[in-house]
Each structure stands twice: as C-alpha cells, then as structure tokens.
Amino acid sequence: MDHIFVHRYDIRYEILAVANIPSDGYTIYYGNDSHPTADYSIPRSGLLDERSISTQTLSVAHDIDMPYTFDVVSSAASLPFDLFAFVFYHLSRYEEYASSAVDQHDRWSSDQSWIVKNELILLPIVDLWIEYLRKKLQAEGILLPKTKKFKLLPTIDIDMPYAYRDRPMKSLLALSRDLLFGRFSRVQKRISALRSNKDPFDEYSYLLDRLKEIDSLFFFLCRWAPPRDENYHVDHASFKELVTLMNESHDIGVHPSYQSMEQPELISAEKKILSVISKASIFRSRFHFLRYRLPRSYRVLIDAGITEDHSMMYPDRSGFRAGTCHPFYWYDLEREETTDLTIHPSAIMDVTLKDYMSLSPAQAISHIDEIVAAVRSVDGTLSFIWHNSSFSEIHGWAGWRSVFGHLLSLSE
C-alpha cells in the first residue's frame, strides 16, 4: 500500500476492518464477496495472508489489457486478479526465496523468473498495473496525480581504473600473451597506448565532460583479489586521486567484491576503505558481477550502513527484474519486516548487451529505444550500468561509445 499510494502518488490511506468502513472517503474493498458501500474492489488470492514461503504455481492470463497472475474468480470484483498480491510478489522478490536455481556465478538464475518465462522482462509490468489502477480510480473521480517524470540515471562501475598505469608487470605479461597468440593488432594498440601515455581505460575526462549536467553515480571496487576482483591496490596514489576527483562532482558508492557473497564481512571493510579515501559517508552500493543472494546479502548491506542498493538487474538480460523502474523499499520476506534499504532497479548494462546478448552497437541502440519507451510510459527512471573499460577498442568495444552517447541523449 505504501508503494502504490504513498511513494508513487503521495496519497494517504488507512487499512480498516469491514465493520469500520466510514461513510465518507473512497473505499477499496479487498475480498472476494461483495460489499455494498465499496467504491472499488480487488479480489483476494490468499498470498498476503500466508506466513511461510512456498513455491507458487503461477499461470498467466490476458483477459483484459495486460498480462497478470494471481487471478481470482469473483463476480463482485472490479479486477479479475489480486493486484496487491501481484505487486507484493514481484517487489519482495518472493520467487528468489522459493527457488534455489543458480548460474555459473552462484547468482539466482533469471530462467526461473515468472516475468522471464512469460516474456515480460522488457515491460515494467508492476508499474503498468499500478498506472492502470490510477487511471481507473481517476475515472471514478479519485485524483491520484502523477508526481514523477521520466529520469535518466547513468551509473558507472570502476572495476579496473586503468589498464596499464602503475601496472608494468601486468602490462608486460599481457603484451607477451598477445605476441604468443599472434594478436598483432592488439599488440600494436598496446604499444601505441603506452607510447602516448594514454591508458585505454582512462576515460574520466570524457565522462566528467559528458556527465557534468546529469546526476550520475560512480561505484568503486575496493579490493584486490584476482581473478574476479582485479582492481588496483587501494593504497596506490592514482586510485586515491581518482576517487577524490569523482567525489568532487558526482555521488559515489562501494562496489562490493565478488567474494563478498561468501565473505559478507568484506562489505563493511571495503565500504570503510572508500569512506577513508573519499572522506565522505558511503551509503550506496552495487555488487560486483551483480552477485548477491536474498536475503543475506541485503541484510549485510543494512548492517554495514548501506541505505541504497543499485544491483537489481539480471546480468544476462536487459529489462526489469522486479517488474519496476521505480525505487522501492526492500521487504525482508523471511523475517516479515519492512526495511529502510531502498532498491534502485537498473534496466540496461553494457556487458549484458555486448557479451550476454551478443548485440552490435546498432542493435543495442534499437533495443535500448524499446526499453526507453516502456520507462517513459510509466514516468520511471532509466538507470543504466556502464564501465570505464567499455570505451576501449583494444578490448573489443569498438563502436560502443555511440551507444553510451545515445543513452545520454535521452536526458535532453
């Protein structure tokens, strides 16, 4: 109720027993029978009455404008399904508790998602149904104003600040491997970059210029533990200078390392490192590799003083993991507790487009435009993930600068 009415439309509400329904005000009856004084009714599937987590067998129906589940046969209801259960199921990430299937990185597998199975991943289906309810109520004289507008939120992950700088041994080994395997074009590019003293991952002047008038976030990996966490050593002067530079004009957050899922104590340690370097309070996070598991990972964030997380996206497909492009508060389903951890969903990531989906830059732009249209239709936030290393032609990113530029043009 808070998410639908308060956070989205700034409308106050009360939950009352049937016997206490007042004669004034607007009443939504939540139940399967009829009520003589109710203005609108939503059928009750029973999900919100449960006190345990179980695998839900969910069908999909299309009897009215859009697909839905938690359908209930009720001749008295204004809707054919339990909209409240539908919203709660997706925002709570109920299905991620009920299924344990994981991918090669031990992340919850997107193949298990009701949204993915029903080919709805490119639609913010939760937002669309909330907007449907708003329009229905407005048609009956209840004004639920649109309080938000489309917003672009670029977020940049700094996994590897530099490819060569302060890393002479690694650069020499990489050059040797390229020679050994006959990758001579890459050898030429490496030598050219070294001679010009222009590191291929050093795109910070470009980023600062393009993002100077756009609210953006930068996430820093603060642990060196190859092969997954290959950041600079955090005590390098160049790393500290970079953190300070970005913190002067943009918000920053910690990028909890790959191993933090198995070693949750690392999150507080990495957050402290970034706070000391930046001399700033760190309360934002995004997990490296989008590698986390519910509910433990989010509980650890809360214990570490994190109040915003930006990891809600599948690594292997674009779209809306929780069915929404609006921030929402995380609900701890096992403990049946509301929390103050705000989840900011992302819908697009450079690595997803290029490596997982195998799209060309031109195909990626077309794909992005489809997602943008969906976000605009619900006045949502298009949060996307990019990496400083994704401008490097040496590493296979030729042409992708145009995709980044296209995304930024959406703010104009």
Domain layout of the chain by residue ranges? 2-139, 151-164+201-409, 165-198
For 196-230, write each residue's pLDDT tens digit.
567 889 999 999 999 999 999 999 999 988 788 87
| Strand 151-158 to 229-230 pairing | unpaired
Residue-averaged pLDDT of the chain: 91
In tens digits, the chain (412 residues) has pLDDT values of 999 999 988 888 999 988 787 777 788 999 998 888 888 999 999 999 999 999 998 989 987 779 999 999 887 889 999 999 999 999 999 999 998 899 999 999 999 999 999 999 999 999 999 999 998 888 887 777 777 799 999 999 999 998 876 655 455 566 566 677 777 666 666 566 555 567 889 999 999 999 999 999 999 999 988 788 877 788 889 999 999 999 999 999 999 999 999 999 999 999 999 999 999 999 999 999 999 999 999 999 999 999 999 999 999 999 999 999 999 999 999 999 999 999 999 999 999 999 999 999 999 999 999 999 999 999 999 999 999 999 998 789 999 999 999 999 998 7
| Strand 328-332 to 337-343 pairing | antiparallel
Q: Which fold has domain 151-164+201-409?
A: TIM Barrel (3.20.20)
Residue type, 186: R
Look at residue 38 in the predicted model and tell me its pLDDT: 85
Q: Give residues with Cβ within 8 angstroms of 168, minimum separation 6.
A: none
Report the predicted TM-score, pTM, of the whole model to 2 decimal places.
0.92
As a whole number of Å, the end-to-end CA separation of the chain is 34
Look at residue 65 in the predicted model and tell me its pLDDT: 78
Look at residue 235 in the predicted model and tell me its pLDDT: 87
Closest Cα partner for 323 from 122, 169, 22?
122
Look at residue 76 in the predicted model and tell me its pLDDT: 84
